[in-house]
Structures are given as C-alpha cells and as structure tokens.
Amino acid sequence: MGDVELPELLHLVSKRLRHGYVHRLGPLGLTPGQARALRVLADAEQPLRMVRLAEELRIVPRSLTPVIDALEESGLVRREVDPANRRSTLVVLTSEGRAAHETALDARRQAGQELFAVLSDEQREQLKELLSAVDAQFR
C-alpha cells in the first residue's frame, strides 16, 4: 500500500485519538463530546448560553442539546433561564461537574500523551503550530 496521503493520515490519527478518549472516558460515564463541553464550561469560569457554548465547541446548537441533556441528567450541569434574556438558557457547571471535569482532564491528558508518545517535546510543538495554522485560516 505504502503511500498514505496527508488527509488520510489526519483521519487515521484522529480516529486513534477518539478511540483513546472513548476508552478512558467511558468508565467515567462521559463521552468525548460531553467532556469537551465540561472543559469549555470550566475554562469559561461562568455559565454560558447554549448558542455560545455550541460556538465554542464548533457544533450547531441542535447538536449540543443531547450533550447537555446527558450532562444534566448526571447532575454535572444545570440549565437556568437567563434572567437577562428569557429566551436564553444558561448552562451552569455544578460542583460535581467541576470535579468530573478534573477527572476527565486527567484521562484526556493521558490519552493525548499516549498518542503523541513517540514525538519529542519539540516535535509536539511543531505539530501544534502546523495544526494551529491550518485551523486558524478558517476562523
């Protein structure tokens, strides 16, 4: 076979990452998408509206709904009506949610380290810069 193209490589490596996440986050009762939402909420350090959270995650609001449904059912977030605009829903991270985020963060770090284990710190930085450049052109 031999010659794997760059797009195909990207796809394969990304699939491995997802695989690692699924297996490490699964025992915590989280999907990668849920863990991502927790991360954004924790980083924001304040409740976020659905539209805003979806933007940060780069998915459409409709796709966020079941993610938040699941997190709410697990008690990791809470929906609140935005007093400033009653059309809006504020997604509030609970203390359980914050704790789950910390655990998930470790799991995600481990999966990341495992995936990029063969790269030196320098190479990892290089990879990050290349991918950043690719990503940035669309933002």
Interface positions with a copy of itself (CB under 8 A): 1, 4-18, 36, 40, 43-44, 56, 58, 108, 111-112, 115-119, 123-124, 126-128, 130-138
Q: What is the DSSP letter of 7?
A: H
Q: What is the DSSP string of 81-135?
A: E-TT-TT-EEEEE-HHHHHHHHHHHHHHHHHHHHHTTTS-HHHHHHHHHHHHHHH
Quick one: which segment of 1-9, 43-51, 98-106, 111-119 binds DNA (CB under 7 A)? Answer: 43-51
Which CB sits closer to DNA, 88 or 103? 88
Residue 17 contacts which entry, a copy of itself, DNA, none (Cβ below 5-8 A, type-dependent): a copy of itself
Residue 115 contacts which entry, DNA, a copy of itself, none (Cβ below 5-8 A, type-dependent): a copy of itself
Residues facing residue 81 across a β-bridge: 89
Q: Return the SS3 of 18.
A: helix
